């Protein structure tokens, strides 16, 4: 009861666009009733079901809105043993009745992200017995066969869904993770950052520095799109949308020009790569890295300008940089250095293309966009909801003027400790 009252006290003071607001509460001899903010966009679960799966950029937008505010109020001795909420969304240490702490929130976020990306929870089961067996299992969580997600997304997902809480990603690591990308979440600062970058882009464009201008335009667009999401005034939103579409058009023009500029350079690099491959027959690891580079280039030139190709570049560069550090002075080292510079250039160029394509396909650039409903989703789980094990929106009703009854659920599973 003391924890619940603390939760209510916290919620009564919190005012944030990503956290469901507690309007009031009442009680009687059996229940406590929470009156919560009306969320007209529906809940995240319904949003996912209506689209089956969400693109990474939309899943990221939802992830950026999830609230972890109560974690700061939990001291190390606030460990729990009581089991509450839906087992599909609870960390194994909760279901198996081990001591647990705020790190269970990170597991729940992993389940939500998994469901958003793949349309089902990692422990989706046909029966309670099957669910219990999966939770008791020591088998690491795996992504569905053929899952197509970026390297950053895969890394975050598997680190969130680490069964051992001691090995699970920490809160600090989560907030700094490149997939979460809090730098580009919608905020009051988004527009200012975008304007500063676009001014630099225009200057580079006027100076004829096409590649630098393209990079700056793409960086600006990464802030303009969140700025559109954050803007609430319809007229200002539409004016901003039209301006951003102009920048997208110019970035498209620059992309074609930069591609043409790079063509000769990339052809020369191909010849260098072939020579380097022949000189590396006695170095199996280096040879594999060069073959990965060749595969990445082939994929890109065939039109596969996607995260899979970018991952190939990154894998290749990781190995080649190690090889460069171990390589003695000589012709092969010179060629290896040149190859790394060329591949880095290609990888950066590809990254800009992917950013621009994601910007072009972002629903916020379209009038009356459906994706704007993400802003009104009840993604910001309240501290009370997390304490009660409510880690998905459909486990609570966000209805102002309706009563929500606090009745802790209990569930007993025979898990090995």
Q: What is the DSSP letter of 100?
A: B
Q: How far apart (Å, rounded) are the C-alpha atoms in residues 167 and 201? A: 42
Looking at residue 391, what is its pLDDT? 37
Report the distance separating Cα 215 and Cα 349, nearest Å. 8
Residue 355: CB partners within 8 Å, gap ≥ 6?
A: 218, 221, 222
CB within 8 Å of 337: residues ≥ 6 apart = 324
**275-322 pLDDT, tens per residue?**
888 888 888 999 999 999 999 999 998 888 888 899 999 999 999 999
Domains of the chain: 2-102+116-132+141-146+381-405 (1.10.510.10), 186-365 (1.20.58.80)
Most distant CA atoms of the chain, gap in Å: 84
Highest mean pLDDT of the ranges 56-70, 78-92, 280-294, 355-369: 280-294
Confidence at 408, pLDDT banded by 50, 70, 90: very low
Q: 109: Cβ–Cβ under 8 A, 6 or more apart, which residues? A: 63, 66, 160, 174
Predicted confidence at residue 86, as pLDDT, reads 66
CA 104 and chain centroid, separation: 19
Among 169, 143, 162, smallest CA distance to 92 is for: 162
- Mean of pLDDT values over 45-60: 86
Alpha helices in 76-209 (DSSP H): 92-95, 104-118, 128-136, 151-160, 171-176, 190-206
CA 25 to chain centre: 34
Residues 417, 95 contacting (CB under 8 angstroms): no
The structure tokens listed for 248 are 């997208």
Least confident of 40-44, 84-88, 319-323: 84-88
DSSP label at residue 30:
S
Residues 6 or more apart in contact with residue 417 via CB below 8 angstroms: 96, 97, 98
**CB 36 within 8 Å of CB 23:** yes
Q: Which of 398, 362, 50, 357 is nearest to 186 (CA)?
A: 362
Residue 2 is predicted with a pLDDT of 64
- For 144-189, the pLDDT digits (tens) are 888 888 889 999 999 999 999 999 999 999 999 999 988 888 889 9
Task: Determine the pLDDT at residue 68.
Answer: 60
The model's confidence at residue 364, banded by pLDDT at 50, 70 and 90, is: low
Q: How far apart are CA 155 and CA 135, in angstroms?
A: 21
d(CA 114, CA 182): 19
According to the model, what pLDDT value does residue 333 have? 92
Both tokens of 279, joined, read 């000189």
The predicted-structure confidence for 265-288, as pLDDT tens digits, reads as follows 777 788 888 888 888 888 899 999
Cα 43 from Cα 22, distance rounded (Å): 16
Q: Quick one: how far is CA 173 from the chain centroid?
A: 13
The terminus-to-terminus CA distance of the chain in angstroms comes to: 27
The residue among 64 and 360 whose pLDDT is bigger is 64
Residue 179 carries which DSSP code?
T
What is the pLDDT at residue 372? 47
- Give the pLDDT confidence score for residue 344 in this predicted structure: 92
| pLDDT tens, residue by residue, 182-241 | 888 888 999 999 999 999 999 999 999 998 999 999 999 989 989 998 898 999 999 999
The residue ranking higher by pLDDT, 284 or 416, is 284
Count of residues in the chain: 417
């Amino acid at each position: 009861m003391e924890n619940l009252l603390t939760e209510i006290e916290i919620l009564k003071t919190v005012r944030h666009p990503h956290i469901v607001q507690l309007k009031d509460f009442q009680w009687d001899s059996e229940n406590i009733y929470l009156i919560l903010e009306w969320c007209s966009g529906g809940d995240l679960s319904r949003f996912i079901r209506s689209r089956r799966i969400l693109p990474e950029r939309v899943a990221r937008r939802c992830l950026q809105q999830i609230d972890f505010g109560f974690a700061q109020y939990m001291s190390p001795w606030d460990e729990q043993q009581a089991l509450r909420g839906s087992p599909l969304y609870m960390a194994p240490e909760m279901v198996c009745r081990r001591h647990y702490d705020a790190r269970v929130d990170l597991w729940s976020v992993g389940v939500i992200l998994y469901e958003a990306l793949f349309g089902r929870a990692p422990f989706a089961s046909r029966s309670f017995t099957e669910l219990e067996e999966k939770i008791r299992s020591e088998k690491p969580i795996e992504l569905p066969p053929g899952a197509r997600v970026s390297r950053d997304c895969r890394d975050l997902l598997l680190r969130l869904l680490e069964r051992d809480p001691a090995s699970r990603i920490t809160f600090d690591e989560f907030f700094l993770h490149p997939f979460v990308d809090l730098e580009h979440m919608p905020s009051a600062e988004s527009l200012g950052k975008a304007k500063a970058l676009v001014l630099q882009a225009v200057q580079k464009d006027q100076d004829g520095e096409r590649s630098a201008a393209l990079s700056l335009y793409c960086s600006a667009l990464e802030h303009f799109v969140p700025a559109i999401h954050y803007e609430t005034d319809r007229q200002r939103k539409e004016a901003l949308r039209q301006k951003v579409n102009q920048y997208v058009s110019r970035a498209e023009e620059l992309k074609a020009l930069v591609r043409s500029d790079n063509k000769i350079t990339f052809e020369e690099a191909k010849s260098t790569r072939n020579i380097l491959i022949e000189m590396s027959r006695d170095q199996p690891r280096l040879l594999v890295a060069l073959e990965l580079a060749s595969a990445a280039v082939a994929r890109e030139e065939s039109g596969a300008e996607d995260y899979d190709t970018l991952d190939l570049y990154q894998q290749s560069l990781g190995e080649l940089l190690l090889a460069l550090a171990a390589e003695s002075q000589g012709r092969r080292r010179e060629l290896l250095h040149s190859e790394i510079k060329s591949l880095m250039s290609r990888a950066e160029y590809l990254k800009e293309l992917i950013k621009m394509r994601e910007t072009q396909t972002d629903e916020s650039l379209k009038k009356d966009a459906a994706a704007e409903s993400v802003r009104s989703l009840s993604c910001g789980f309240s501290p009370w909801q997390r304490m009660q094990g409510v880690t998905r929106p459909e486990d609570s009703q966000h209805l102002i003027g309706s009563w929500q009854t606090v009745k802790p659920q209990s569930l007993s599973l025979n898990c090995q400790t």
